[in-house]
Structure 1
Amino acid sequence: MRLIHTSDWHLGQYFFTKSRAAEHQAFLRWLTEQVENHQVDAVIVAGDIFDTGSPPSYARELYNRFVVELQRTGCQLIVLAGNHDSVATLNESRELLSCLNTRVIATVGEDLSEQVLVLNQRNGTPGAVLCAIPFLRPRDLIASQAGQSGSDKQLALQEAIAAHYDALWHAAQAKRDQLGLPLPIIATGHLTTVGVSTSDSVRDIYIGTLDAFPAQAFPPVDYVALGHIHRAQCVAKTEHIRYSGSPIPLSFDELSKAKSVYLLDFDGATLNAI
């Protein structure tokens, strides 16, 4: 199974008054070429497809055109919402894009099975099980309680996020057992983890409630594909928990940093190469 992990495209971004349309167009063309050259089975976008909840029409056109071009390659696309994305904007085309080998997960619901996806290889056989987790809004997980201190709210949100990951991990294990195949289990996320290196263009997403999520709170999946941090990096000195970073610099302090996507090779449940 061969996957590409990318995130934080921020289509529609203006850097001060400069449009990034040409840069984004070049990146999406390059990404499609990589999918074809490496015979990639699935592309995972871990949040922040768009820069705002109401992206300009050209940004939506770039997104839709990429979906069409990728579909022609036979590669599956998984789109997760980030904190910059509007749930309504992503959901408005979700059913249409499902006909183009694309799954859009914009928010969490009561039915966990909607977030446990089987990723197929190009020959149609199952290649991986995905815990498809978008940006988790506090209101999706916990109810505010009167009299809670700041530290109580922080702990409650951290525990709720960890519980959501754990529930999906167990659901993914059940799906793998049902299939009877030695498949890798992959999780996604769009959040800040403890100890990561950030940049000026990254905004706080859990203001006043959660500074960062501890890496040890992730379940023991085979790979965690993260978004939100714009610098590509490993988390907590692990190889299997990673931020792909943004594909183009989004602030001045990112100019000196190399930009990339991650190409993952799995042999059964074993991650062979990144």
Structure 2
Amino acid sequence: MRILHTSDWHLGQHFIGKSRAVEHQAFLTWLVQQVVELNIDAIIVAGDIFDTATPPSYARELYNQFIVQLQPTGCQLILLAGNHDSVAVLAESKDLLACLNVQVIPSVTDDIAQQLCLLNNQQQQPAALVAAIPFIRARDVLQSQAGQTERDKQLSLQQAIAAHYQQLFSQAEQYNLEHKLALPIVMTGHLTTLGVSLTESVRDIYIGTLEAFAADQFPNADYIALGHIHQAQQVKGATDIRYSGSPIPLSFDEAKQQKQLWLLEFNGKEKQVTSVPIPCFQPLLSIKTDLVSLESKLTSALADLAADQRLWLEIVITETDAYLTDLQQRVEELCADLPVELLRLRRQRALATAGLAQQGQQSLAELTPADVWQARLAQEQLTDEQKQQLTQLHQQVLATVEQGEA
């Protein structure tokens, strides 16, 4: 049994005014090729298929085209909702896609058996069980209780999520027992686990008051396929817990990461996990420098650029030159005849007050819409539920605006 673990596609994302449609199309085409070349039996997408709850039409088209292109391979596809995904959007085509070898899990269900997916190998023999858990919202597993402290809420939510995992794991074990099988059990999730490395593109997840889920609370499954964190990594724990990361860089601080998938190979209960590197479909880079060194650093950065490529660029000018009033003009002149697109110019400034170094204020041009929204939200006295609802509404409005601009 050969399974690919991926997550956090964020179809429909706009990156500082740039559409990622071309990159996502290239990735999905490449992914179908990997299914054929690596003889893959199943793909697990561990959440955040779309970037917003109201994905633009071209993002939905990419999603549908991928499923159509995957169909002739016979590869099974399991799609889980993340915190960016709309339960309604994923659920609307769930029954139709079930006829195309696709299982969609948009939310946790009252009938937990519906979250248990049987995977067959190419000989149509049972080869693995997937205990499919999408992004869990507090209201999915908890009843609101008056008078609880924040610490009590966090503890209750962590216990409820752990109980849901254990209940579904027990269902998988019971299935093996009833059918006299010893199938490996793969569990999924879309959350932050303690001890992981974050990047700036990972937005607040808002699972009630839960900041991170302890790794030792996961059941002892054969593999736990997680989404939400955009950097591929393995979490230290008693079982094999991994994030696949996003397939393309979603922020400049991810630019130097080698994006990847995890390939799981099961031979009975024996398991092997290897990394499958993903090609870079659109180079991007952040350069931190003073103005004098900028030209040489640009030359070095462009040395390996293919003839038909343009580099998406962020330039961070250090304190020495950050106060220049004509900085934007000078940088643009240096970039004018080069195969680059300057998406963001930032000034790194420091102010000394009472002997303490304080970070200077950023201009609006240096902030993303998400940065501005979170700063505005922080000024209000709101519950976590209100923050989540308002953030979802903001994402819907932002998606509509960006779709119109595109």
TM-score by length of 2: 0.66
1:29 aligns with 2:25: no
Question: Residue 87 of structure 1 corresponds to which residue in structure 2?
Answer: 87
Deviations 1:114-147 (A, max 9, x none): 0011111111111101100000000000011111
The 10-residue stretch of structure 1 (197-206 or 101-110) with the greater mean CA deviation from structure 2 = 197-206
Shift, 1:200, TM fit: 0.6
Q: 1:266–1:154: structure 2 CA closer, same or farther, 3 Å change rule?
A: same
How far the C-alpha of 1:16 sits from its partner, in A, is 1.3
Amino acid at match of 2:176: R
Aligned residue in 2 for 1:42: 42
Cα deviations by residue, 1:78-129 (Å, 9 ceiling, x for unpaired): 0000000000000111111111100000001110110011111111111101
Contact kept in structure 1, 2:215 and 2:237, CA below 8 Å? no
The list of structure 1 runs, each at least 4 consecutive aligned residues, that deviate by more than 6 angstroms after superposition, is: none
Q: Tell me by how many angstroms 1:237 deviates.
A: 5.9
1:179 shift after superposition = 2.4
Which letter maps to 2:266?
A: F
How large is the Cα RMSD of the aligned pairs?
Answer: 1.1
Of structures 1 and 2, the one with the larger relative CO (CA 8 A, separation 6+) is: 1
3-state SS in 2 of match to 1:261 = strand
Gap runs ≥5 in structure 1: none
> How many matched pairs?
274
Question: Is the Cα–Cα contact under 8 Å of residues 158 and 210 in structure 1 kept in the other structure?
Answer: yes
Please, what TM-score do these two structures have when normalized by structure 1?
0.98
In structure 2, the partner of 1:235 is 235
Residue 14 of structure 2 is aligned to residue 14 of structure 1: yes
- Aligned residues of 2:262 and 2:273 also touching (Cα < 8 A): no
> Do the aligned residues in 1 keep the contact of 2:135 with 2:191 (CA within 8 Å)?
yes
Residue 172 of structure 1 aligns with which residue?
172
Match of 1:210 in 2: 210
Counterpart contact for 1:185–1:269, Cα < 8 Å = no
Q: CA deviation at 1:238?
A: 6.5
Matched letter for residue 98 of structure 2:
S
Q: What CA distance in whole angstroms lies between the structure 2 residues aligned with 1:273 and 1:162?
A: 25
**How far apart are the structure 2 equivalents of 1:93 and 1:129?**
23
Q: SS of 1:265's equivalent?
A: strand
Q: Deviations over 1:211-258 (max 9, x none)?
A: 100000000000000000000000016672000000000001100111
The 1-side partners of 2:269 and 2:142 are apart by: 33
Q: CA 1:92–1:121 in structure 2 vs 1: closer, same or farther (change >3 Å)?
A: same
Which consecutive unaligned segments of at least 5 residues does structure 2 have?
Answer: 275-406
Shift of 1:155: 0.2
Q: Secondary structure at the match of 1:160?
A: helix
Rounded Cα–Cα distance in structure 1 between residues aligned with 2:109 and 2:120: 24
Identity %: 61
Other structure's SS at 2:265 match: strand
